[in-house]
């Protein structure tokens, strides 16, 4: 009789576990939906005006004092610095360069945000639900930055991240500048991305890496489409817990009412056609210690407060410029996700992607040409980089590629 009771007990336990398992997916889905909804409400601040962009985005005009930065406990009583104390001297003049049509953001076609507000791309619930977890939304995977001089060049060891970059290291750098043309690279899998950016780096490339990043990207997973978008990123612990894209966490303090982080750039370059580029400048205010960002020649966007970082509270030890993609293909196969224009650098202007007038900010707050520029790419047959120098373009390079091709499998 004892054995029969034990058997019945085991059957009841098994049935209970099966019933719980049957309800569990619905319960988990409901819980995640509520988590996403709560996080969305936290990110989307009260706005004075909203603008419906032609690409489907909604841009909210949020009072400057109510932006996400001030969710950070150390910024609760922060006085916004409305302008940098110093601008780097010797900004490269584009007067010698053939004039190009002005580049803007797509939402500008439908309106602008008033003074005293900042434009914020509204987060949708589906944006958050596309992430692997609510906590990971708006964040890069850990160890997403490469240190070219010390890594083992092994594709399988790169966690799917591949680069085609130029870089300088070994000095003290207080900022960087570049002009890059803007493309719409094709993405094979929705969990892959393609970007072109500047990296301002400090630390040991271990768990304490500090990084400030800005450029353009195509990321279906993050934005839900294949539009080319302006973006920023920061981390103070190698992408583990701190930092995020754009304004998706507290940190970056925006002061500009004209440019929205994460919004679509318009227009973009076309193969063998018109070329459109953007200029980005990131520099450290020598008085306050904050890291500032400027878009174009006149749009000072805002700053990353110095306290967010450890190594970058002093200076950067490395600057990188170039492209990065994520390859999610298994078993060593290669994605066909494009970098830059999707064409190799040897195809040159109007065909390949470029960075021109790359500069660094020195200790005396002056912009100057970098010395001892090096290049790096994991697989040149997939994505490559070629440097050059001219009177009009200063130090420049072409970069990118198609990914999978007969020489890159």
Catalytic residues: 213, 324
| β-strands 394-400, 384-390 pairing | antiparallel
In this structure, the number of other CB atoms found within 10 A of the CB of residue 26 comes to 9
Nearest in space to 43 (alpha carbons), one of 128, 112, 116: 128
**Peptide linkage before 267 cis (omega within 30 of 0):** yes
Q: Which residues of 295-332 are buried (b: 16+ CB within 10 A; e: fewer)?
A: bbeeebbbbbbeebbebbeebbbbbbbbbbbbbebeee
Q: Closest by alpha carbon to 80, among 90, 70, 91? A: 70
* Closest among 174, 199, 200 to 365, alpha carbons compared: 174
């Amino acid at each position: 009789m004892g054995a029969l009771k034990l058997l019945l007990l085991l059957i009841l336990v098994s049935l209970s576990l099966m019933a719980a398992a049957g309800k569990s997916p619905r319960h988990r889905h409901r819980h995640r939906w509520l988590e996403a909804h709560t996080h969305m409400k936290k990110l989307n601040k009260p706005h004075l005006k909203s603008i419906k962009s032609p690409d489907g985005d909604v841009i909210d005009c949020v009072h400057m004092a109510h932006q996400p930065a001030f969710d950070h406990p150390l910024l609760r009583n922060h006085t916004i610095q409305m302008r940098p104390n110093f601008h780097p001297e010797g900004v490269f003049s584009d007067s010698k360069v053939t004039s190009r049509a002005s580049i803007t953001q797509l939402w500008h076609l439908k309106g602008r945000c008033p003074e005293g507000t900042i434009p914020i791309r509204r987060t949708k619930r589906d944006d958050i639900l596309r992430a692997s977890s609510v906590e990971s939304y708006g964040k890069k995977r850990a160890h997403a930055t490469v240190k070219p001089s010390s890594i083992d060049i092994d594709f399988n060891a790169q966690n799917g991240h591949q680069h085609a970059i130029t870089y300088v290291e070994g000095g003290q750098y207080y900022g960087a500048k570049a002009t890059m043309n803007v493309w719409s690279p094709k993405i094979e899998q929705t969990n892959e991305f393609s970007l072109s950016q500047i990296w301002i780096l400090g630390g040991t490339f271990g768990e304490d890496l500090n990084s400030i990043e800005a450029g353009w990207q195509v990321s279906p997973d993050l934005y839900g489409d294949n539009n080319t978008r302006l973006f920023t990123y920061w981390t103070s612990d190698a992408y583990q817990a701190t930092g995020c894209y754009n304004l998706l966490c507290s940190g970056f303090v925006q002061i500009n009412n004209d440019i929205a982080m994460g919004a679509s750039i318009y227009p973009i370059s076309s193969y063998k056609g018109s070329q459109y580029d953007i200029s980005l400048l990131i520099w450290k205010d020598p008085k306050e210690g904050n890291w500032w960002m400027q878009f174009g020649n006149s749009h000072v966007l805002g700053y990353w407060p110095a306290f967010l970082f450890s190594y970058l509270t002093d200076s950067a030890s490395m600057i990188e410029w170039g492209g990065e993609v994520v390859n999610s293909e298994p078993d060593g196969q290669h994605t066909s996700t494009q970098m830059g224009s999707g064409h190799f650098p040897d195809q040159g202007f109007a065909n390949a992607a470029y960075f021109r007038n790359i500069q660094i900010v020195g200790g005396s707050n002056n912009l100057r040409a970098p010395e001892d520029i090096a290049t790096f790419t994991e697989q040149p047959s997939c994505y490559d980089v070629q440097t050059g120098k001219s009177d009009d373009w200063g130090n420049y390079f072409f970069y990118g590629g198609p990914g999978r091709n007969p020489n890159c499998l």
